[in-house]
Amino acid sequence: MTANISSQPHEAFLADWAVHSRFGAVEGTGGVERQAASVADGEQRKWFAQLLEQHGFTVRHDAIGNQFGLLELVPGAPYVLTGSHMDSQPTAGRFDGAYGVMASAHACFRIAEELRADPSKARFNLAVVNWFNEEGSRFKPSMMGSSVFTGKLDLDTALATTDPRGITVRDALGAIDQLGDAADLAALAEMTVASYAEIHVQQGRSMEEDGVTIGLVNATWGARKFEFKITGEQAHSGSTIMADRRDALLGAARLIVAARELVDEFEPGILHTACGEINVYPNSPVVVASDVQLLFDLRSPDADVLNRAYARVMEKVEAVKAQDRVDIEIVAEHSWDQNPYPEDGLALAREVAEDLGLTHDRVMTVAGHDSTNMKDDVPTIMLFVPSVDGISHSLKEYTRDEDLVAGLDHLAGVIRRLAGGALVN
C-alpha cells in the first residue's frame, strides 16, 4: 500500500467489520450462521442501513429484497454499483460475501468525500448493494437476488420459492421487513447502472501460495447443478426380502459415490464434483427409503469436460435405475457456462494495483458470484483477496486484516475511476 493512504479509513473499516461480524456469530468460532432472510440476516441489514445513512446514503429495497445504498452526486446520472452479499451458509465463515459489501461501503464512503470536495470529478453516482440470497442455502437457486435484478429469474417464481420448512421467500423477507415498498420500487425503477465492481475473498489457496494480494478475476468456471428426485418404494428395513426392495437411498448412494469417482476419469484439477445436500423420506431407522432428493454439482473451466461429465452422469443414472429398480428424474437445474470478464476492466484493475504497489495476477473463480450475472449486462470488474489455506464455507474461513485493507484500498481506486467515467462510452 502507498504511504499517502492514511490508516484512519482502515481503522474505521476494521471497527465496523468487527461489529458486523457479531450478527449471527457462532460463539467461540469466529464464524457466523446468517442464512438469507433469517433473524440474524434481518438484524445485520438494519444495522447496515444505519451505517449507510450515517454517511449520507439513502437506503432502498427492491421487490426481491436486494438492499441498496444510493448517493446521488450528479442528478439524473447512472450509478456505479458495487457490493456482494451478507447472507451465509449454515455455520460458515464471516468473510464470504460480507467482506465485499463492507469493503464496497467503505470504499464508497471514501470516494464520496473526495467527490463532494471536487464535484467536477464525478460523472456517475455511487451505489452499494447487499444482494439477497447469494448462497442459495435456505432458498434455491443461489444468486437469487442478482438473478431477479438482471431478469434471469422471474420475480414471482423467486418470491414463491420455499425453504425446507415451507416458508416462502416473500413471507421470509416480509418477516424481517426487507421487501421494498412503493417508494423504494419507484426510486429504484429510475436507477440505471453504469458499471459494477465486486470484491470477495478468493475461496481458494492459489493467491496465498503465489504471494498475490489482489486477484484480477478473468473468468468464471462453468457449472451444472441439478437436483435429482430418486423414487423407490417404502418397506420394512428388516423383514423385506432384499431382492424385493426398491431402495431410493441406495440409488442416491451410488450417485454420490459416482460423483467422486467421475473426477478420476479426467485430467487432475479440471473437474470438481459434489453432492452437497440430501433429503431422505421417511428417514426412519426401520424403513427402506421411498424418496430422496439429491443435489449434484459439476464444475469445470472447460465446456467439453462439463459436457462429457454430464453425459457420464446420465449413463450412471440409467444404470442405477435398472440395478436398483428406482425412478430418477431431474426436478431442478441451475447452470452457467465458463465466461470471461471484460479485458478493459481487468486492465483498469491492474493499473490501480500497480499504482498502489500491490502484487496482483489474473485468477479464475471456481465459485459463482453475483458479478457472474452483472457482467452480462454492464461493464464489470471482479476482484479477490487471499483466503488463508483456501478454506471457505467453513467456520475456519479466515483472511488477514492486511489483505482486507489492501483490498479496500484497491476497490476504492477502482470505484474512483469508474465514478469518473471509466469503461463507459
Strand partners, 297: 225, 274
> Helix, strand, coil proportions of the chain in percent (round to 5)?
40, 25, 35
3-class SS of residue 372: helix
87-106: per-residue pLDDT in tens? 999 999 999 999 999 999 99
What is the rounded distance in angstroms from the CA atom of residue 229 to the CA atom of residue 133?
Answer: 24
Q: Evaluate if residue 10 carries a pLDDT over 70.
A: yes
Within 10 Å of residue 209's Cβ, how many Cβ atoms? 11
What stretches of 4-94 show up as alpha helix (H) in DSSP? Answer: 8-20, 39-54
- Residue written as grid cell 476419469: 265
Q: Determine the average pLDDT of the residues in 54-61.
A: 98
- What pLDDT is stored for residue 1 in this prediction? 31
3-class SS of residue 284: coil
Residue 25's alpha-carbon distances to 4, 22, 28, 244, in angstroms, are: 35, 5, 9, 49
Q: What is the pTM of this model?
A: 0.90
What is the rounded distance in angstroms from the CA atom of residue 394 to the CA atom of residue 401?
Answer: 18
Residue 253's alpha-carbon distances to 149, 245, 327, in angstroms, are: 37, 15, 14
Residue type, 386: P
Residue 400's alpha-carbon distances to 95, 102, 363, 414, in angstroms, are: 10, 15, 19, 21
- What pLDDT is stored for residue 369 in this prediction? 94
**Which among 339, 343, 399 has a CA at the least distance from the CA of 364?**
339
Q: Evaluate if residue 223 carries a pLDDT over 80.
A: yes
- What pLDDT is stored for residue 52 in this prediction? 98
Task: Kindly list the domain boundaries of the chain, sorted by start residue.
Answer: 8-221+338-419, 222-336
Residue 4: pLDDT band by 50, 70, 90 thresholds?
A: very low
- What pLDDT is stored for residue 367 in this prediction? 87
Q: Which residues contact 313 (CB under 8 A, 6 or more apart)?
A: 255, 258, 259, 262, 296, 298
CATH class of 8-221+338-419: alpha beta
Residue type, 303: A
Residue 415's alpha-carbon distances to 5, 128, 174, in angstroms, are: 16, 11, 33
- What pLDDT is stored for residue 384 in this prediction? 98
- What pLDDT is stored for residue 305 in this prediction? 97
Burial class (CB in 10 A: 0-12, 13-18, 19+), 274: middle
Residue 366's alpha-carbon distances to 106, 238, 252, 300, in angstroms, are: 27, 44, 25, 8
111-134: per-residue pLDDT in tens? 999 999 999 999 999 999 999 999
Q: Evaluate if residue 2 carries a pLDDT over 50.
A: no
CB 194 within 8 A of CB 378: yes
3-class SS of residue 116: helix
Calculate the average pLDDT of the chain.
95
- What pLDDT is stored for residue 3 in this prediction? 30
Termini Cα distance of the chain:
30
Q: Parallel, antiparallel, or unpaired: how do β-strands 79-85 and 193-201 relate?
A: parallel
230-244: per-residue pLDDT in tens? 999 999 999 999 999
Q: In b/e form, how buried is each residue of 245-273, taking b as 16+ CB within 10 angstroms? A: bbbbbbbbbbbbebbeebbeebeeebbbb
H or E stretch including 275?
strand 272-281
168-220: per-residue pLDDT in tens? 999 999 999 999 999 999 999 999 999 999 999 999 999 999 999 999 999 99
What is the rounded distance in angstroms from the CA atom of residue 386 to the CA atom of residue 375?
Answer: 22
- Residue written as grid cell 500491490: 358
Burial class (CB in 10 A: 0-12, 13-18, 19+), 312: middle
CATH class of 222-336: alpha beta
Residue 380's alpha-carbon distances to 34, 68, 91, 285, 376, in angstroms, are: 27, 18, 30, 51, 8
Q: Determine the average pLDDT of the residues in 372-385.
A: 96
- What pLDDT is stored for residue 7 in this prediction? 60
- What pLDDT is stored for residue 419 in this prediction? 97
